[in-house]
Structure 1
Amino acid sequence: MAVDSLLVNKLTAIVFIVLGFLVFASGYRHESPSGLIGGCLVLAIGIILLIRKIVRKNKSNSSD
């Protein structure tokens, strides 16, 4: 069960990163400040989720 949840968390983070980058790139191309800000926020959320997943996995491995 824990493996499934870690996989879902990793995939969710990667999807957020990809979508954030696409929104950011689109905002940059069309010179849209809201697209840039939105893309940066989604990208940051994806990176934070991925870092949290890695830290959580390392904590569980170090306590074994």
Structure 2
Amino acid sequence: MVASTGDGHFLLVKKLGGLFAIIIGCLLTAVGVTFEYTSTTTIGIAFLVLGAVLLTLKIIRRNQGSPLG
């Protein structure tokens, strides 16, 4: 269960970047839908997808050495 320290900063960047992208994506999507801006809504959805992908990659990387899988 001990994580290697070599990838610690990179995984932290993925985690914080993913969370930041999801927050920005939610805000942009909400603004785009409220004011009917198609481009803002599209950019917001793209940020949501980017954040989800970054967090998914972090979770997959963390669980690679798991004895359960």
TM-score, length-normalised on structure 1? 0.87
Q: Which sections of structure 2, spanning at least 5 residues, go unmatched? A: 1-5
Alignment of 1:17-32 (within 5 A): 17-32=22-37
1:27-51: CA deviation from partner (whole Å, max 9, x where unpaired): 0111111111111011101101100
Amino acid at match of 2:42: I
Q: Which sections of structure 1, spanning at least 5 residues, go unmatched? A: none
1:11 matched to 2:13? The reply is no
The structure with more radius of gyration? 2
TM-score, length-normalised on structure 2? 0.81
Q: What is the alpha-carbon root mean square deviation over aligned residues?
A: 1.1
Q: Which structure has more helix as a fraction of its residues? A: 1
After TM superposition, the runs of 4+ consecutive aligned structure 1 residues lying more than 4 A away are none
Match of 2:7 among 2, 8, 28: 2
Identical amino acids, percent of aligned pairs: 34
